[in-house]
Amino acid sequence: MEEFTELWLKARENENANRKPELIAVKYEAELQEKLLKLTGVFTILSRSTYWQELPLQSKGMAVLSATINDQPALLARDNHGPLLFLNEAGTLTLKVEYAIPIHQTGSDQMVNFTLPDVPSGALSLKLPAGKRLLANTQQMTTLAETDDQQTFQFPVGNQTDWTFRITEENGDSNQDRLFLANSKLTVFSKAAEISWTATTQLEVFGQSLNVVTCSVPGHMEVMSVTSSGLDSWELADDPLNPKRTQIKLNYRQGINGKREVTIQGVTTTDTEGRWLFPNLIVNDADSQLGEITLGYAPPWKVRVESLDGVRRKSFPGELTSTPSRFGRALYFDIWRPDFELRLQNETSKSSYQAALASVLSISEEAVQFQNQLTLEATGAELFEFEFILPANWELESIRTDATALSWKTLMAEPGWQRIQVPLNKVLAPGETISLEINSRLVDALSGEAHTITLPQLELPAADLVEGTLLIKGAPVTKFNTWTPNHSNR
C-alpha cells in the first residue's frame, strides 16, 4: 500500500509539472490622474512547477509601469497580445502590476478604453473626485463609499476583459443614451513619391442607433472610395471645423446599432524632397478612438520617421494588423490620439557589395568564350540588383545562379561598351552572398593564322572591393603573345 501511495504521489507531481500556471483571482485599484488612469492589479497565481514557464497577461490599451512577484522584480517580456510573465517557482504567488491607461477627452466627459487580462474572479475599485459619475460599459455604477471630496466605486470584473469607462459630471449634460466607439486599422504603402492609404474602421454603437457618421482626413489626400454595409451614400466637403481637412459624410439606410465596418481608400504624394505627413482619420463624436498603423515600403526605398506625436512605435503588428505580401519592409505604430502627427521621409537605400571574380577566356577555331564565376556579398543596405560593364563586341549569352536563369537589361553606356543591369532572384541582406555564372562570346569573326584579341574585362562599378583571376585556355597548337595597348582610358 505504501509503494502504491508513493507511486501515485510521483505521478501527480509529474502531471502538475506539465500544467501551466494559472491566474485565479485579481484585485484592481484605480485612481484618476490628470491625463491617465493609474491601475494597480494584484493577481493571485497558482504555479505547480519549478521549471521555467510563461504566463500570458493579455491586455490592450494599457502600458506596464512596474511589476513584482512576491515583492521581487518580475521577469516580463511582451508579444503581440500583451505582457508575458516568466516564472520558475511553485506555489501560490502574488503578482503586482502597475498600469497606465490614457484618458481621452470627449467634450466635458473623459473616456477610458482598455482590455484586462482574463481572470475568473476579480473586482475593481476606482476612486473619483466628488461630483463625478461613472458609466462602465454603458452601465451606471453606484458608489461604495463617499466623503466630502472623494467617492469610491467597486464592481466585479471576473471573466470580463473589455471595458469602456465614461466619467462625467454628476449634473452634466452628457449624452448617456449612446456610446460610440471607433477602432481603425490604417494601412499605407509608400513607393517613391506615391502613397496609397486604406483605413478599415470598426464602428461600434451602444444604445441609441446612429444614422449619419462624419469623419475627416487631411485635405492633401484624395479620397478614392468608401464602402460599408448598409451605406446609402457618401459625400465629400470642406471640413467646417478645419478648412485644411476634408469631411466625409456617411449616410446609412438603417441606423447603426452594434458593430459596422467602413473602409476608406485614398492616395497622396510626398513633397519634392520625399517628406510627407501621414494622413490621420478623425471620426467625429466618437467617445473613444484608437487604432494601429502598418506602413509598408519595398527596396530600394525606405521610410525614415522624422517626428511623431500621439502614436507609439512598436516592433510587431498587433491583432488588427496583417502585413500585405507586397511590403518588403513595414513599420508599425499604435494610435493613442486620433489627431496624431507622424512626419516621415522617403529615401533610397544605398546598396554596396564586395565581389570575387574568376574569369576564363576560352579560345578555339570555332569561337572565343568568356565565362565568369562571380560571388557577391552585400555589405551595406539590402542588395536587390547589380550592374556590370562589358566591351560592346561581346554578346551576352546567359546569366545563371544555381539552376535559375536570370533576366537582364542593357542600359545606355559609353561608346564601345555595354552596361548590363541584373535583378537578383532574391534580396541579399547585409552579410549574405550569391554566386552567379555569366557567359558571353566574342562577336568578331576569327580570320587568318594570327588573330588579335583585346582581353575582355567584366567591370563592377558599384563594388567596394573586387578580387579576381583570369585564366586563358586554347587548343594545344595555340600560341599566345600578349602586350599592353597604349590607348585604353578605362
pLDDT, one tens digit per residue, over 201-250 is: 999 998 888 889 999 999 999 999 999 999 999 999 998 888 899 999 99
Q: Residue 349 has what DSSP assignment?
A: P
Q: Is 366 helix (H, G, I), strand (E, B) or coil?
A: coil
pTM of the shown model? 0.50
What the block records as the C-alpha cell of 46 is: 497558482
Q: Give the mean model confidence (pLDDT) for residues 172-190.
A: 78
Q: Give the mean model confidence (pLDDT) for residues 45-52.
A: 90
Q: How many CA atoms lie within 13 A of 210 on its CB side?
A: 25
Please state, in angstroms and rounded to a whole number, the distance separating the CA atoms of residues 138 and 408.
64
Distance (Å) of CA 32 to CA 123, 250, 480:
17, 35, 91
CA 204 to chain centre: 25
> Which amino acid, residue 165?
F
Query: Mean pLDDT of all residues in the chain?
Result: 85
Of 62-66, 325-329, 440-444, the poorest mean pLDDT is in 325-329
CA 246 to chain centre: 27
pLDDT reading at 488 higher than 50: no
For residue 173, what pLDDT band results from cuts at 50, 70 and 90?
Answer: very low
pLDDT reading at 67 higher than 80: yes
pLDDT reading at 448 higher than 80: no
pLDDT reading at 381 higher than 80: no
Whether 54 contacts 86, CB under 8 Å: yes
What the block records as the C-alpha cell of 484 is: 599592353
> Which amino acid, residue 146?
E
Q: Is the N-terminal amide bond of 317 cis, ω within 30° of 0?
A: no
For residue 364, what pLDDT band results from cuts at 50, 70 and 90?
Answer: confident
Whether 28 contacts 154, CB under 8 Å: no
pLDDT of residue 127: 92
Percent of the chain's residues with pLDDT above 90:
45
Query: Kindly report the CA angle at 160 between 157 and 163, in degrees rounded to 5?
Result: 85
pLDDT reading at 386 higher than 80: yes
Q: Is the N-terminal amide bond of 300 cis, ω within 30° of 0?
A: yes
Residue with grid cell 586563358, as numbered in its chain? 472
